[in-house]
A and B are shown apart, each in its own frame.
Chain A
């Protein structure tokens, strides 16, 4: 049957022309096309990869910015805290110093008062002594004649002096 018996002529021409076309298209069509497709896909891949990289870098940058900001904030807080501490310490110190000074001043005032008092007492004693001597002198001058009255007077004087 003709339908299923391959003819030699057809086989010959088909083999020849098909072979030539495989070679021809392989050289001038398929290889350039495949190469172009490959190149384009690679460039798309590369572009996508680069975009990804850029996005990642952006994210990194953002993250590092945030980190920086956070650090700055922390530092500021730290500085503020330190400042507050210093301020408090300064005030405390000043207060302590002031109270010490005040104490010292009071102390020295007391001392001075004591000294003044002592000096006044001494002066008073000296005055009294002088006065006594003056009295004694006067008494001696006046009362030396009357022995009995002298005695009484002395006793009286002594009594008065004791009151002092």
Chain B
């Protein structure tokens, strides 16, 4: 049963990814097309400032919304930008540098020689500013003669992680207290809302994947993992603060979770797991000796499993966000051609965005489920007794 669900979610996810890439291309083509035919179309646009501005770049806008940021942008109106500045923590040249991201003035200025690269291969990252270039045309690029600072800033994603983790801690400790208070009674309120999910993870994920005897040891990790992914997927769908951060669509976040799964799998593996890798049963001997083909394949498999976990979640969530942003971008792209056209397209765009948001609600659950299920399956494989 679990395999079937997994496959179906795989189809959904691939579809979303393909659609996302298609939309990016479409918006970019449209955007460049618009730019060529009406180079000054943005002049009368009421969304743009009163000064001459470059045309709306959908691709840039989408990527900006999907990636991490050193400030939490809430809204812009003309030249007015409402953002929450976040602390920047840099380790550079043996010392820690600590200041607020507002010092960068949304990436337009440098501070103490640090700045957010506007272009180049380190675009969007905090770099050592190449002074000549900055003085020339106010563009920040990395000075290749200097080392890159290690960026430990509390970025938008980090803050969102903290907030969601604090929220989860509060929520579940509160629920645990409810369980203690109402011992032996039927669940009530938020407790009864989340209890089915907890029982679902225990009875439909952990028990069948790991087995009755050993599942308890992995429950804290699986439950934390599931609810972290699930809540952040949902928060990511909220378009403004405190939601809107693309936590589970950030490859660093999914990587850390995949590494946790990998480490737990590897450290709880028993001898049968390693025997299975070194001397895979049921495989002809000539695949093992003299060329250890199967052991090599199995060894690679140890690493591909968490790698796929990382990519799957990241790609799904990012793709979903890209599609929604793509639909919204279409409004502004058509709006640049003609304001009325923009309004006209907005109806279709909003309708598609609403549809996508509903789909994303489904994906939010499915991806949390799949990540947790596969982690549980790997733990089950690692701890399985000889059969």
Q: Which residues of A contact B (CB under 8 A)?
A: 2-15, 17-22, 24-26, 28-34, 36-37, 39-40, 43
Contacts and interface: CB of A to CB of B under 8 A. Distances in A.
Interface in B84-116: 89
B168 interface: yes
Contact of B169 (A5, A12, A13, A24): A24
Given A8-B150, A13-B152, 6 more contacts: A6-B250, A9-B150, A9-B155, A18-B224, A21-B228, A33-B179
B307 interface: no
18 contacts: A3-B251, A4-B251, A6-B255, A7-B151, A9-B152, A10-B250, A13-B152, A13-B158, A13-B161, A14-B253, A17-B162, A26-B221, A28-B173, A29-B169, A32-B176, A36-B180, A37-B179, A43-B184
A37 to B, nearest CB: 7
Interface in B64-85: 66-68
Contact of A25 (B89, B172, B179, B255): B172
Interface in B189-229: 195, 198-199, 202, 216, 219-221, 223-224, 228
B252 interface: yes
Nearest to B89: A9
Contact of A33 (B68, B154, B198, B228): B198
B176 A10 contact: no
Please provide the 9 A-B residue pairs with the shortest distance between their CB atoms, ordered closest to farther.
Answer: A26-B220, A6-B252, A29-B172, A36-B179, A10-B252, A14-B256, A32-B176, A9-B152, A29-B176
Q: Do most interface residues of chain B lie in helix, strand or loop, or is the interface mixed?
A: helix
Interface of B: 63, 66-68, 89, 123-125, 150-155, 157-158, 161-162, 165, 168-169, 172-173, 175-176, 179-180, 183-184, 195, 198-199, 202, 216, 219-221, 223-224, 228, 250-253, 255-257, 259-260, 314, 318
A32 B172 CA distance: 10
Nearest to B216: A34
Nearest to A30: B220
Contacts of B195: 37
A25 B198 CA distance: 13
A15 B165 contact: no
Contacts of B124: 2
Contacts of B255: 6, 11
Given A18-B260, A36-B180, A25 B169 contact: yes
B219 A2 contact: no
A33 B191 CA distance: 10
A147 to B, nearest CB: 152
Contact of A7 (B165, B221, B252, B257): B252
Contacts of A33: 172, 175-176, 179, 198
B253 A5 contact: no
A163 to B, nearest CB: 130
Contact of B252 (A14, A21, A26, A30): A14
Nearest to A27: B220
B130 to A, nearest CB: 19
Nearest to A8: B150
Contacts of B216: 34
Contacts of A32: 176, 179-180
A30 B172 contact: yes
A85 B204 CA distance: 74
Given A14-B161, A15-B256, A30-B224, A3 B154 contact: no
Nearest to A41: B199
A136 B98 CA distance: 189
Given A18-B165, A18-B257, A25-B169, A10 B155 contact: yes
